[in-house]
A and B are shown apart, each in its own frame.
Chain A
Amino acid sequence: MLNAYQKIYPNRFSTHTLRKVNNQVSFLGRLGSLEKKVRGTAKKNNHEIRDPVYAFIHMNSSEREVLNSAPVQRLRHIHQLALTNLVYPGGTHRRFEHSLGVMELATRIYNAVLENGGTDSLDIDGKYDEIYYLRVLRMAALVHDIGHAPFSHASEDLFPGDCNHETMTLRLIESDEMEKLWAMLKIQTEDVAKLALGRDHPKKKTFSNTEAILSEIITGAFGADRMDYLLRDSHHTGVAYGRFDHYRLTETLRVLPKTYEDRSKEPALGVEIGGLQSAEALLLARYFMFSQLYFHPVRRIYDIHLKEYLQAWLEGGRFPVDVTGHLNLTDNEVMAGIWRASRDPDLPGHGVAKRIMMRDHYRVLYTRNPDDVLKYREAGLAIYTAASAAFGEENVRHDRPKIPASQVAFPVLEPDGRIVSSLLKSDALRHIPEVAVDTVYVHPDLLDAGRAWLNENRESIIKSGSELEDTA
C-alpha cells in the first residue's frame, strides 16, 4: 500500500527505504552504483539536497519555488544559535538548513504516524485529506522560522509592542509573495499558518484535534522542530549530548488516545513501548543540551551583549516590522555594524561591539544554587539588585530566562494494546529535572571585587530578599 508521500511521489522510494538502502550500500562500499539504480526511476520534478544530519532532503519542483522565495532564502543569513560560535566555534549553522531538516523530519513522522495507525489515526475530526495535509505540513515546516529577527531568539525582545517572531512569521506567510506560492501549491494560507505557528499563532485561538496533532508534529515534544535542532546543533557544535536514536523514535510514534481517570480520551502523540527508550533519550538530550549549550552562561551573556548593541544600532532601538524592512535585515548587516563599531569610538554601541569582538564579556558572579532556591526562589534577582547598588547598574547583568516545559508525560502503547502514561513506565522520565537558570554577571574588571563582596554578603542578601512584603 502506498503511503501519502508515495502518492505524491509515485515513482520514488520512501525516505525510509532509501535510508535502509543507503545504510546497506554504505556499509558495503557500493553506494554510488546502487543509489543510482534506486534513483533511476525518479522524475526530474523531484530534487534532493544533501544534508549532514539526514543525508538527503527531498522536495519537488513546486516546493522548491517556496524554498527559493525571499523569506526562506533570508534564513541562509540567520544563525541558528546567535553568537554561540564565540563559545562553540562549530556553531555557525543557519536557520535555513534547520528549516529544511524540519520539513524532512515532519514528513517522516507524518508517514510513520499514518503507517502505524492507518488514516484513522489522524481522522480525528471526521474529515481529513491526507495528501493535502502532507503538503501543508511540509510547507508549514519549511516556513515555521521565517519571522525570526537577526540572531534568532537572542534579540526577540527588540520587536516593538506586542510583535514577536511568530507575528512576523504570520505576516510573511500572508504576504503577497507567499500567497501566490500557496495558491500554486493549492493549499490554504490559513492552514499553513496554523501548522507553522501551532500554539503560538498570534490570532488563532481555537484548534481542532486534527490541527492540534498536526501542529505537534512540527512543534510538539516529539515534533520535528525539537528533534532537528537537537540533532543539528549537536552535530555542528560538537556537543554530543544532543544525539538520540531518531530513526527508532520516529518509527514508533503513534497518535494515541491519552486516557484520563474518568475514561475520557484525547488524542496525543505518543510512542509504542519499543520506542520508549528513544523517547527517554530525546528528553535527556534536551535536558543536557539546554544545560550544556543553550544556557551555557558565556553563550547567554553574548546574547545580552548582542541585544545591547542592537538597541544602540537599530533605529529607535527596535526591529522594523514591515515585510520589506524585515527581509532586508539579517545577521550580515548586524555583524558588519558590530565590526565597524568595534573600531570606531564615534559609532553607536562602540563599547559593547568591542566587547563582543574582543571576547571581553561580563563574567559570572552568581549562578543558581538549589539551596538558595529553597531559601528564596528569586535569589538571583536579590543578588543582582544588591550588586547593582554596590557596583553600579551598568556593571551588572541578570539572566533569568523562561524555559518551556519538557513535556515528559505522554501516552505509551503496550504490546497488549493498553495505553499507559510514560511516567508509569519510566523511572528515567520521572527524574529528568526541568532546566532552570538564574545567573548574575559582573564587569570583567570587577570580578575579583565582586566575588569577595558576594562571599561576605550572600546569605544576608538572600535572607533579606525572602522577606519582601506581599504587595499588589
Chain B
Amino acid sequence: MKQIQRDGLLVELIDELTNYGSWCGETHIQKATYFLEAMMGIPLGFPYVLYKHGPFSFDLSDELASMRADALLEWEIKPEPYGNALKTTNVSAGLKARVPRTLARYLPAISFVAEKFGTRGVKDLEKISTALYVTKEASGRGCEARAQRITELKPHITLEEAKEAVCFIEEMFREAEPVIREIGGGET
C-alpha cells in the first residue's frame, strides 16, 4: 500500500473514531489501527510489539508524528484529568479527497472498528488487543490456553478477564466476517 493511501486511511479512521465518540488519544488510534490490520486484514504494514498497554507500533507512532509535521493532524489538549488527543485538519480533508477508491474500499472495516472499539477505555482495549495478539500468535490454540498466555504476558489481567477477552475476540471475528469478505481483507 502506498503511503498516501495508508495515511488517507489513518485520517479516515481518526474521523470515524471521533464520530463514534472516541477519545482519540494515541493509544486509541494505535489499538484501532491494530484491529484494522490484525482482524480486518487491511495491509497497512505497521509492525507491532506487545508493549505496556498491549500491541504497539513505534512505526505508526512515527507516522503520526510525520502527519503532524505535514499539518494532517494536530494535538487537541483537553483539561485534566484528560490528556492529549489527535484530530484531523483541513489539510487532511484534501488528502482524503485524493484517495477515494482506497477509502471507499476499506470504509466498512473502518466503521466496524470505530463502532466496536472506539468508545472502549484504554484498560479494556489493552485486554482485547492483547487477546487478538495472542490469537494471531497461536491461532490453533484453544480459549483456555490463549487466556493463560495473556496472564503470562500481562500479569495484572486475571484469568477470568483474559477468558472474557478471548471470547470477545472470537465473537468479533464472527461479526466482522461479512465485512472482511466485502473489503477483500488481506489483499493489496
A424 touches B77 (CB 8 A): yes
At the interface, yes or no: A268 with Cβ under 8 Å from chain B? Answer: yes
* Distance in angstroms between the alpha carbons of A433 and B66 in the assembled complex: 10
At the interface, yes or no: A377 with Cβ under 8 Å from chain B? Answer: yes
Contact status of A204 and B49, CB under 8 A, knowing A424-B80, A434-B65, A434-B66: yes
How many of chain A's residues touch chain B, expressed as a range?
35 or more
At the interface, yes or no: B144 with Cβ under 8 Å from chain A? Answer: no
B122 touches A374 (CB 8 A): no
Q: Which residues of A contact B122 (CB under 8 A)?
A: 260-262, 264, 266
- Stretch from A23-31, A74-82, A206-214, A336-344 forming part of the interface with B: A206-214
Q: Which of A125, A199, A260 has the most CB of B within 10 A?
A: A260
Kindly supply a per-residue 1/0 record for chain B positions 176-188, scoring 1 wherever the CB is within 8 Å of any chain A CB and 0 otherwise: 0000000000001
Q: Which of A205, A261, A263 has the most CB of B within 10 A?
A: A261
B38 to A: closest C-beta gap in Å: 13
At the interface, yes or no: A130 with Cβ under 8 Å from chain B? Answer: no
* Distance in angstroms between the alpha carbons of A404 and B100 in the assembled complex: 29
Q: Which residues of A contact B65 (CB under 8 A)?
A: 403-406, 434
A330 to B: closest C-beta gap in Å: 29
B64 touches A421 (CB 8 A): no
- Taking a contact as CB atoms closer than 8 A, the residue among B1, B25, B68 that contacts A472 in the complex is B1
Q: Which residues of A contact B126 (CB under 8 A)?
A: 264
A155 to B: closest C-beta gap in Å: 21
Closest residue of B by beta carbon distance from A374: B91
B2 to A: closest C-beta gap in Å: 8
A470 touches B5 (CB 8 A): yes
A225 to B: closest C-beta gap in Å: 14
At the interface, yes or no: B34 with Cβ under 8 Å from chain A? Answer: no
* Distance in angstroms between the alpha carbons of A325 and B155 in the assembled complex: 43
How many chain B residues touch A (CB < 8 A): the figure is 47
At the interface, yes or no: B171 with Cβ under 8 Å from chain A? Answer: no
Q: Which residues of B contact A163 (CB under 8 A)?
A: none
* Distance in angstroms between the alpha carbons of A258 and B72 in the assembled complex: 26
B69 touches A436 (CB 8 A): yes
Q: Which of A387-444 contact B (CB under 8 A)?
A: 402-407, 409, 418, 420-421, 423-424, 430, 433-436
Contact status of A470 and B84, CB under 8 A, knowing A264-B121, A405-B64: no
A403 touches B121 (CB 8 A): no
Q: Which residues of B contact A430 (CB under 8 A)?
A: 75, 77
Contact status of A421 and B123, CB under 8 A, knowing A205-B49, A260-B25: no
Q: Which residues of A contact B26 (CB under 8 A)?
A: 409
Q: Which residues of A contact B124 (CB under 8 A)?
A: 262
Q: Which residues of B contact A403 (CB under 8 A)?
A: 62, 65-66, 69
A409 touches B84 (CB 8 A): yes
* Distance in angstroms between the alpha carbons of A266 and B52 in the assembled complex: 7
Kindly supply a per-residue 1/0 record for chain B positions 5-46, scoring 1 wherever the CB is within 8 Å of any chain A CB and 0 otherwise: 100000000000000000101110000000000000000000
B49 to A: closest C-beta gap in Å: 5
At the interface, yes or no: A259 with Cβ under 8 Å from chain B? Answer: yes
Kindly supply a per-residue 1/0 record for chain A positions 227-271, scoring 1 wherever the CB is within 8 Å of any chain B CB and 0 otherwise: 000000000000000000000000000000001111110111000
Kindly supply a per-residue 1/0 record for chain A positions 180-211, scoring 1 wherever the CB is within 8 Å of any chain B CB and 0 otherwise: 00000000000000000001110011111100
B129 to A: closest C-beta gap in Å: 13
- Taking a contact as CB atoms closer than 8 A, the residue among B50, B75, B155 that contacts A207 in the complex is B50
A35 to B: closest C-beta gap in Å: 42
- Taking a contact as CB atoms closer than 8 A, the residue among B72, B99, B121 that contacts A470 in the complex is B99
B187 to A: closest C-beta gap in Å: 9
B70 touches A373 (CB 8 A): yes
B80 touches A420 (CB 8 A): yes
Q: Which residues of A contact B123 (CB under 8 A)?
A: 260, 262, 264
Other A-B contacts than A261-B25, A264-B121, 8 sampled, CB-CB below 8 A, are A212-B51, A262-B122, A262-B123, A264-B126, A266-B53, A402-B62, A402-B66, A423-B84
* Sample (10) of A-B pairs whose CB atoms are under 8 Å apart: A207-B49, A261-B25, A261-B82, A264-B123, A266-B122, A267-B52, A409-B84, A434-B65, A470-B98, A472-B188
Task: Name B residues whose Cβ lies closer than 8 Å to a Cβ of A.
Answer: 1, 4-5, 23, 25-27, 48-53, 58, 61-62, 64-66, 68-72, 75, 77, 79-84, 91, 95, 98-102, 121-124, 126, 153, 155, 188
Task: Name A residues whose Cβ lies closer than 8 Å to a Cβ of B.
Answer: 125-126, 199-201, 204-209, 212, 259-264, 266-268, 370, 373-374, 377-378, 402-407, 409, 418, 420-421, 423-424, 430, 433-436, 466, 468, 470-472
Q: Sorted from nearest, which 10 A-B pairs have the closest CB atoms?
A: A262-B121, A405-B65, A264-B123, A434-B69, A421-B83, A206-B50, A260-B122, A436-B69, A266-B52, A470-B99
